[in-house]
Amino acid sequence: MAVEYDRHNASSGANSYYERPATIALLGDVYGKRVLEVGCGTGPVTEWLVDHGAAVVACDVSAAMLEIARSRVGDSAELHHHDLAEPLTFLEDASLDLVVASLVFHYLRDWVAPLRDLHRVLRPTGSVVMSVHHPAWDWRNHCPEDYFAFLQVSEVRVEPHTVTFWRRPLTAATDAVSEAGFLIDRLVEARPNPELEMRDPSAFQELTTGPFFMHLRLRPAQPDGSVAGIGGKSS
Ligand SMILES: C[S@@+](CC[C@H](N)C(=O)[O-])C[C@H]1O[C@@H](n2cnc3c(N)ncnc32)[C@H](O)[C@@H]1O
């Protein structure tokens, strides 16, 4: 589905006018930073990071997605074929300023081990910006009878392809974040960019009145519970 996904991602309201702008807003200035992008897909964010002066390492489990990402960024980013369920052996401890994980963590059953590994490779001042399906969206669509269900579900997101992912309640996500040694700096329920109203009024209406994706920005807690640059101990 890589080619169809790439086309969809470039034009869909949910990606171009909602998810990606909210991700970029959380990244801040990336110029001169060493950034890891996990689940980079066909590389729209990879390309944005390169264009904005970051030194980028990116990875994805799909060779077909990576091939399109490669055609987008050439040799200006280091790309790896990698399953996030495995350790990031190609990265040294405390070697990154920022991690971007856009729409990938809901494909993983376990978040703790991959997040711990991201904690390992991040500098103390670093952060993780991630987006996932909003738990309320998946609740409404897959398990309205049980908000607390943690289960694998499938749906068609890009016609005609079915994708399978993990639906979890909000506290399963936040507990995994804490267990992996992170604190939540921001939790964002984005709204679409106003231009979407003209381009796709029904998508605009849907994304303005209900949650679809959720963004988190995480900061690594240090062994004494503090967060670099903030001071004080966390509880
Ligand atoms: C919805 S796409 C998002 C792509 C990209 N981050 C973006 O925002 O355009 C999800 C991506 O996660 C990748 N992915 C899924 N499971 C993965 C895993 N276990 N390890 C690494 N990548 C994975 C898929 O191959 C796909 O490229």
Tell how far the Cα of 36 is from the centroid of ligand 1, in angstroms: 13
Span 105-158, pLDDT tens digits: 999 999 999 999 999 999 999 999 999 999 999 999 999 999 999 999 998 877
Given its phi and psi angles, is residue 28 left (phi above 0), alpha (psi -120 to 50 degrees) or beta?
left
Task: Let me know if residue 162 belongs to a domain.
Answer: no
Q: Ligand 1 pocket, 83 CB below 6 A?
A: yes
Question: Closest residue (by CA) to atom 4 of ligand 1?
Answer: 41
Q: Ligand 1 pocket, 107 CB below 6 A?
A: yes
Q: What is the pTM of this model?
A: 0.95
Q: What is the CATH number of the domain that holds 90?
A: 3.40.50.150
Domain tally, the chain = 1
Tell how far the Cα of 81 is from the centroid of ligand 1, in angstroms: 11
Residue 103 domain boundaries: 2-133+169-220
**DSSP string of 94-157?**
T-EEEEEEES-GGG-S--HHHHHHHHHHEEEEEEEEEEEE-HHHHHHHH-TT-TT--EEEEEEE
Strand duo 213-220 + 182-188: pairing: antiparallel
Return the minimum-mean-pLDDT range out of 9-13, 57-61, 194-198: 9-13
Span 194-213, pLDDT tens digits: 999 999 999 999 999 999 99
Task: Let me know if residue 126 belongs to a domain.
Answer: yes
